[in-house]
Amino acid sequence: MTRLILHRLFYGLLTLFVVSLVVFLATQALPGDAAQAMLGREATPERLAALREQLHLNEPLAVQYGSWIAGIFTFDLGTSYAANMPVVDHLAPRVTASLSLMAIAALVATPIALLLGAYSAMRRDRAVDHGTSMVTLILAAIPEFAVGILLILAFATGALQLFPAVYAGRADNVLNDPTQLVLPVATLVIAVSPPIIRMMRASMIEVLESEYVQQARLKGLPQRTVILRHAGPNAIGPVAQVIALQLGWLAGGVVAIEYLFRFPGIGLALMDAIDTRDIPVIQAVTLLIAVVYIVVNLLADVVGLAANPKVRVSSR
């Protein structure tokens, strides 16, 4: 199994290299001129030329890419054009804010989805099971930003003005007012839960029909013991990979949610950076999202390999 993990790790690093190349070339292909965007239309040619020289925009692309990659290894991601400060310092509080939002969503979504999936499996072909299957199918088909808009209409406007529609606060203290996190967290929870619920239901049904669970029932063990000691732990293994993939989706999905709720995380920073052509920030955020997604997928592969009995047996 170690060889397979190293194989996955090699392809993960190769994918990261390709992603970094695509991110760099994509930011270079953005329309407009960064120096023009920073100085405005009234800037003189001399000032534009001086700023391009200062930002190293006149250097060959290969040199710019090499300097960017070298800076990543020393945590020097350049200087934000818009904020006029190191990108690391500019993004640090926003990364913390986004990680807080994603962590809360994961901690809420995972246990709820597992319990709903297991409960639906134990009530197979009953009204609860059919209702859960239909609701999860509908929610899985609705884009996350549409879910967010519906939650805003339901709980932030009209008769039920229970929570604020947009976040109002700084990036370094997002946990000070939990009510402002309710709608963004709820949107993310609704977005990531359906696949986990459906996978947990399928896995639980398969385990409940297995021979060892049937034998446990024939021995007279209480239903609660059969579920908690035998069925539940064995059903979670195959679902772990789906959970990891959904958590990886959070890194990219949080961009639209943060923009919708004006949450001061990396998603909002990315959208603002695109508006101002703040290329160092765009490169840093997109690469960070790609790293999180690749690492989580790598972990999901490892979990999937570890949960596969054939792989475990062949590795001995």
Last residue of a domain, one of 53, 79, 105: 79
**How high is the pLDDT of residue 187?**
94
- Residues 206-215: contacts with CB under 8 Å, at least 24 apart: 206/235, 207/231, 207/234, 207/235, 208/121, 208/122, 210/234
Q: Residue 25 has what pLDDT?
A: 87
Are 243 and 115 part of one and the same domain? yes
Which of these ranges, 41-55, 68-82, 162-176, 300-314, has the smallest mean pLDDT? 300-314
Rounded Cα distance between 66 and 53, Å, is: 17
Amino acid at 210: S
pLDDT band at 305 (very low <50, low <70, confident <90, very high): low
Instruction: Look at residue 197 in the predicted model and tell me its pLDDT.
Output: 93
Give a yes or no: residue 86 inside a domain.
no
What's the CA gap between 193 and 115, in Å, rounded? 11
Same domain assignment for residues 51 and 117: no
- Assess if residue 84 is contained within a domain: no
Q: What is the pLDDT of residues 87-132, one digit of tens each?
A: 899 899 999 999 999 999 999 999 999 999 999 998 888 999 999 9
Q: Do both 64 and 145 map to the same domain?
A: no
pLDDT number for residue 304: 67
Give the model confidence (pLDDT) of 281-298 as tens digits: 988 998 888 888 888 877
**Which pLDDT does position 8 carry in this prediction?**
78
Amino acid at 102: M
Please tell me the distance from the alpha carbon of residue 204 to that of residue 218, in angstroms, as a whole number: 19
Backbone phi and psi for residue 245, each to the nearest 5 degrees, phi listed first: -65, -40
Q: Is residue 141 part of a domain?
A: yes
Percent of the chain topping pLDDT 90: 23
210 and 296 within one domain: yes
* pLDDT band of 78, cuts 50, 70, 90: confident
Instruction: Tokens for 211, please give them.
Output: 């021979």
**Average pLDDT rounded to a whole number, residues 62-83:** 84
180 and 49 co-located in one domain: no
The whole-number average pLDDT for the span 5-28 is 84
More confident residue, 227 or 31: 227
Residue 258 lies in a domain: yes
Res. 149 pLDDT band, cuts 50 70 90: very high
End residue of a domain, out of 55, 79, 103: 79
The least confident of 33-42, 109-118, 179-188, 248-257 is 33-42
> Whole-number mean pLDDT of the chain?
84
Whether residue 212 sits in one domain with residue 181: yes
Q: What mean pLDDT is predicted for residues 59-74?
A: 85
Check whether residue 255 and residue 116 sit in a common domain: yes
- Give the residue from 45, 79, 113 where a domain finishes: 79
* Shared domain check, 297 and 151: yes
Q: Note the pLDDT tens digit of each residue in 204-261.
A: 898 888 888 888 888 878 888 888 877 877 787 778 778 888 887 887 788 889 999 9
User: What is the rounded end-to-end Cα distance, in angstroms, of the chain?
Assistant: 8
pTM of structure = 0.81
129 shares a domain with 199: yes
On whether residue 87 sits in a domain, the answer given is no
Higher-scoring residue by pLDDT: 137, 302? 137
178 falls within a domain: yes
Q: Is 192 found in the same domain as 63?
A: no
Identify the pLDDT of residue 11: 84
For 66-128, the DSSP string reads HHHHHHHHTT---B-TTT-SBHHHHHHHHHHHHHHHHHHHHHHHHHHHHHHHHHHHHTTTSHH
50 and 183: one domain?
no
Supply the range of the domain harboring residue 9: 1-79
- Shared domain check, 307 and 172: yes
CATH number of the domain that residue 176 is part of: 1.10.3720.10
Q: Does some domain include residue 63?
A: yes
Closest to 251 in 3D by CA, of 268, 269, 241, 266: 266
Structural domain tally of the chain?
2
